[in-house]
Amino acid sequence: MESDSNNTELAPLIIISGPSGAGKSTIVKRLLESCELPLELSISATTRQPRPGETDGIHYRFLTDEQFRAHRDNGDFLEYVEVFGRGTWYGTFENDVTTSRKNGKWIILEIDVEGAMKVAKNNPEAITIFIHPGSLEELERRLRDRGTETEEKILRRLEVAKRELDFAPSYKHIVINENLDNAVEQVCQVLKSNGGST
């Protein structure tokens, strides 16, 4: 564990990124179930609409534009980004992250590359992991099979994905999610071998 300026023990900070459809949520869910570490997922705020099966407060805190702006203006976010352009905002609550780390929880931020770079700059000890889908073709297949976005939104996500893949070398670890079990195991091993000495 490292220390902040007040010499308070802080648990590791984990940043997981990768293009939409790469498998981040699936991997994180499996990690929380099976990786034997005190992991916790940071619940981000977003202004996008919930997908079927998504619950407010569990998958995201779904906010209106006004609510999001109020949190932003109040300085509540560690980082916030308009991920896909066109008015969809996402943000990480700073207080949740600090509280969890002080309580010994290894907090996972599942955030886009832009937000990740901001947080990593201020927290160079963070364990940063990029989930790579293998190829853009595979990414497209997964986004279509997931069936949660309109055609226009899928195309927008693929366009953004091309740029996001260029950020992979900026992460300390790259995990290719071809076989899901292997990817989950690899991420768990990365955490176990880096958590004590980040």
- Positions touching ligand ADP (CB under 6 A) are 18, 20-26, 142, 145-146, 177-180
Count of helices and strands (H, E) across the chain: 7, 11
Which is nearer to ligand ADP, 82 or 140 (by Cβ)? 140
For the record, the structure tokens of 100 come out as 């969890």
Q: Which DSSP letter does residue 22 get?
A: S
The 10 Å CB-count burial string (b at 16+, else e) for 130-150 is bbbbeeeebbbebbeeeeebe
Judged by CB under 6 A, the number of residues near ligand 5GP is 14
Please say whether the beta carbons of 39 and 30 come within 8 A. Answer: no
Site string for ligand 5GP, 42-61 (x = CB under 6 A): --x---x-------------
Closest by Cα among 53, 80, 43 to 65: 80
Concatenate the DSSP letters of all residues of 95-140 into one string.
Answer: HHHHHHHHTT-EEEEE--HHHHHHHHHH-TT-EEEEEE-S-HHHHH
Confirm or reject binding of residue 177 to ligand 5GP (CB under 6 A): no
Q: Which stretch binds ligand 5GP (CB under 6 A): 6-14, 86-94, 122-130, 183-191?
A: 86-94
Residue 22 binding target from ligand ADP, ligand 5GP, none, CB below 5 to 8 Å by type? ligand ADP
Per CB under 6 A, contacts with ligand 5GP among 93-132 are 110-112, 115
Site residues for ligand 5GP, 16-45, by CB under 6 A, read: 20, 24, 44
Least distance from ligand 5GP to the Cβ atom of residue 190, Å: 18
* Residue 92 binding target from ligand 5GP, ligand ADP, none, CB below 5 to 8 Å by type: ligand 5GP
- Relative to beta strand 77-82, strand 89-93 is antiparallel
The CB-of-23 to ligand ADP minimum distance in angstroms stands at: 3
Q: Which residues bind ligand 5GP (CB under 6 A)?
A: 20, 24, 44, 48, 79, 81, 83, 90-92, 110-112, 115
